[in-house]
Amino acid sequence: MRRPILLPMILAAMLCGCHEDPTPVDVTPNTPGNVGIFADPINVVLYENGLQGTVKIRLLARPIANVYVTASTNDSSEFLVTPEQIAIAPDDWDKFFEFTLTPIDDKSRDNAQIVTLSLSTASPENVWNEQPATLVTVTVIDNGTVQLDCTQTPDDPQCQKPLDCTQTPDDPQCQKPLDCTQTPDDPQCQKPLDCTQTPDDPQCQTGKTRIRFMAANTTSGSNQDYNDGKGIRMFQAMQPDIVMIQEFNYKNDLDTDFRSMVDTAFGKTYEYYRGSGSIPNGIISKYPIISSGAWKSNKQSNRNWDWAIIDLPGAKDLIAVSVHLGTSTYGSELSPLHDKIKSLAGAGNYYVVLGGDFNAKNRGGVRSTLGNKNAIFTVGKDGKEICDAGEFPVDQDGNSCTSAERDDPYDWLLFDKTLDTYEVPVEIGTHSYPNGHVLDSRVYADHGELQSIAPVKETDSWKCQSEPMCSRCSGGDCNNFQHMPVIRDIILP
């Protein structure tokens, strides 16, 4: 049975239901629950022999392929919809399109007809196929309309009062779309990443392996160990995959102690190798350690030059070398160390990384021995001064030196010439470091960025209790945190 309608109420609703063009909204695409259609208005009144009506639509999210919006009704005898389908390209996702509703004169007197206009979406991007249709209520009024008695049918949709957004401002229908011209930095206003334009962006590296390396002589206290947790917190913050560690001492130096330290700092799946001596080097790895060993230092008696072969994803394995050179003898250790690495690397098809505490006062000797044209490694160029950025890892202030006083290039992380081509920026917080990063908790505190390296504390990089940046300490005034860790990232093809 067709129901009568109250014409004056419909006319009032039509007059009061004027809509301004909504401001576009940009919602993160491809997320179920966010994609869909914005339709305006959602209640339309047509008169037989009257003017056409329109329904404006736009997408609520940018698709990755065309979206086809199809209009259909549950009664095609009351009005025509043109076009039947609108194709919306990804670049036009935030533009408005119109369906035109043309009333049909059926040449008979009947009551007002309530017709549902369904707007459904389809696309090669499957999330659009899963969205429920957007419904628009269309009332078609005939000149002989019989009035609806809302006292008898109070639940009839025609008897419902329009939404009063002054009373229900939080109702979703009362929310205005985001105006990206006013808030261009809002995450919802950001266009999706175009990997055809930025193939090296880390977010575009699907199916590739990102590996973070770390050189870390990050012990503290009077016994050159990791007992007080400062270095461990830095491991937890940086989450490296492969670490060349120095002064690898912890608690009673039992296997159970080192297993506990590695589990806490990195995770239970990490493997480790620890050399010999009172302050030994080591290698800690997310990937399996195939073999390991040590070369006897030509100058040091309390540690060796330690190495491990690591099973990386792909066809080539990695030789990781961890060293702690002497304060006054590092220059005379470089050449025999280079020969040892070259001999091991020549026995197979390997990538090579060398990291650790070189105790170097300048970069010239390292460059001439390890970075010359016949050498394995690539050594970058200096800035204007020894600690300026150049092509080396830096902190937020552009300082590339790693000593406690930040005036000597003690700590190094060198890639072979192939790995060097795979380097990508280290991303931490809002910063990007193209040649790697030097972590200093004092600098993070100065910049108000400690939250970026949680759980590291402001005082973790202090050498002395009486910091900032003291040069000497003794007795109970010593923290003895003397070296900053160095971090570099690569992406294996």
Is residue 376 within 8 A of residue 345, CB to CB? The reply is: yes
pLDDT tens across 170-190, in order?
A: 776 676 666 776 776 666 666
What is the spatial distance between Cα 123 and Cα 422, in angstroms, rounded to a whole number? 37
CA-to-CA separations, 218 to 63, 211, 363, in angstroms, rounded: 48, 20, 21
- Secondary structure letter of residue 162 according to DSSP: P
Q: Which CATH number does the domain housing residue 408 bear?
A: 3.60.10.10
Residue 42 sits at φ, ψ, to 5 deg, of: -105, 0
Question: Strand pairing of 43-47 and 134-141?
Answer: parallel
Contact 356, 280 (CB under 8 A): no
Average pLDDT of the residues in 257-278 = 97
Shared domain for 146 and 218, answered yes or no, is no
Average predicted confidence (pLDDT) for the chain:
86
> Are residues 148 and 232 part of one domain?
no
Is the model's pLDDT at 477 over the cut of 70?
Answer: yes
Residue range(s) defining the domain that contains residue 362: 208-492
- Whether 492 and 313 have beta carbons less than 8 Å apart is answered as yes
Cβ proximity of 186 and 42 under 8 Å: no
CATH number at residue 162: 2.60.40.10
CA quadruple 396, 402, 408, 411: dihedral sign: negative
Segment 378-405 shows an average pLDDT of 93
For residue 468, whether the previous peptide bond is cis, meaning omega lies within 30 degrees of 0, is yes
Domain final position from 140, 162, 181? 181
- Most confident range (mean pLDDT) of 51-60, 187-196, 365-374, 446-455 is 446-455
383 token code pair: 């800035």
Number of domains observed in the structure of the chain: 2
Residues 366 and 335 sit within 8 Å (Cβ to Cβ): no
Q: Are residues 290 and 246 in the same domain?
A: yes
Distance between first and last Cα of the chain: 69
β-strand pairing of 113-122 with 431-433: unpaired
pTM of the model: 0.61
Residue 258: predicted pLDDT: 98
The answer to whether residues 175 and 217 belong to one domain is: no
Dihedral (CA of 420, 423, 425, 427) sign: negative
Q: Is the residue at 53 inside a domain?
A: yes
Query: Which whole number is the average pLDDT over 224-250?
Result: 97
How many DSSP H helices and E strands does the chain contain?
7, 23
* pLDDT surpassing 90 at residue 377: yes
What tens digit of pLDDT does each residue of 122-163 get?
Answer: 999 889 998 899 999 999 887 654 455 677 767 666 666 666
Say if residue 9's pLDDT is above 50: no
Do residues 176 and 239 both lie within one domain? no
